[in-house]
Amino acid sequence: MFRGKTAIITGGTRGIGKAIAEEFAKRGADLLLTYRGNDEAAETTAEMLKNYHIRVLLRKGDGGLPEFARLVAGEAKSEFGRVDILVNNAGVTKDKLLLRMNADDFDEVIRVNLSGAFYITQAVASIMIKQKQGRIINISSIAGLRGNQGQVNYAASKAGLVGMTLSAAKELGSRGITVNAVAPGYIRTDMTEVLAEEQKEAILKTISLKREGRPEDVAKAVAFLSSDDAAYITGQVLGIDGGMAI
């Protein structure tokens, strides 16, 4: 389905990003994956993905910097000749209650999660406009739609991604580019594994399907929105939360 296409996935070597990368690899896409710190995890992911007989490039750097975004977009274009899909997945958390959150806690999450997505979207959109085709998918969160205690910064960044999705969809649609978002709920990742059992049980009670989601659940939805089957879908936010937001 994606043979001959190129995808950039930010934060693509672990967790949800890794699952998206593998789903794309299964469908034949060549990949450029960005990551921030864990070289071993990145190399392990790249070697696994190459088993699908695709090309994989890794680029380490700070996704919250505009110069890094321009470098990544340029490298993808020079190495692969085009950029068909961008998945803005990179993100960080610095959870604290509102009254205990300092300026650095707030600013860093906004910088990486929201500003970083803007920078790479801007850089890639210029390539996609020339191609007259492209797919952009932003990984938001249920926290960006409903809020979450102790996550004022994170929820603000993810709500910002929703607004950016809607505005970019209006601007880029006439150029053949769709822009959508997904809003995962409680997905099993390294981030959720640190929660206490009581916290996990409390969260599961709020989910209609009574189970946690898997990174693969998010990956399949992102793959659909990136495919030709979703060519007439843009400016949408798809909840992947097992009914948590009902």
pLDDT in tens, 147-170: 999 999 999 999 999 999 999 999
Contact 134, 177 (CB under 8 A): yes
115: left (phi over 0), alpha (psi -120 to 50) or beta: alpha
pLDDT in tens, 35-72: 999 999 999 999 999 999 999 999 999 999 999 999 99
For the residues 28-40, what does the mean pLDDT come to? 96
pLDDT tier at 145 (50, 70, 90 boundaries)?
very high
Q: Which residues are tagged catalytic? A: 154
Q: What percent of the chain has pLDDT over 70?
A: 99
Which residues on neighbouring strands pair with residue 33, listed in sequence order? 9, 58
pLDDT tier at 190 (50, 70, 90 boundaries)?
confident
| pLDDT value of residue 161 | 98
* Chain centroid offset of residue 131 CA: 22
Contact 17, 219 (CB under 8 A): no
Token couple for 27? 């469908």
Contacts of 58 (CB under 8 A, 6+ apart): 13, 32, 33, 34, 35, 42, 43, 46
CA distance linking residue 38 with residue 231, whole number of Å: 35
Contacts of 142 (CB under 8 A, 6+ apart): 148, 183, 184, 185, 239, 241, 244, 245
Contacts of 178 (CB under 8 A, 6+ apart): 134, 135, 136, 169, 172, 225, 230, 231, 233, 234
Indicate whether 195 pLDDT > 80: no
pLDDT in tens, 72-107: 999 999 999 999 999 999 999 999 999 999 999 999
Q: Which residue has the higher pLDDT, 98 or 195?
A: 98
| pLDDT value of residue 182 | 98
Amino acid at 140: S
CA distance linking residue 69 with residue 86, whole number of Å: 12
| pLDDT value of residue 215 | 96
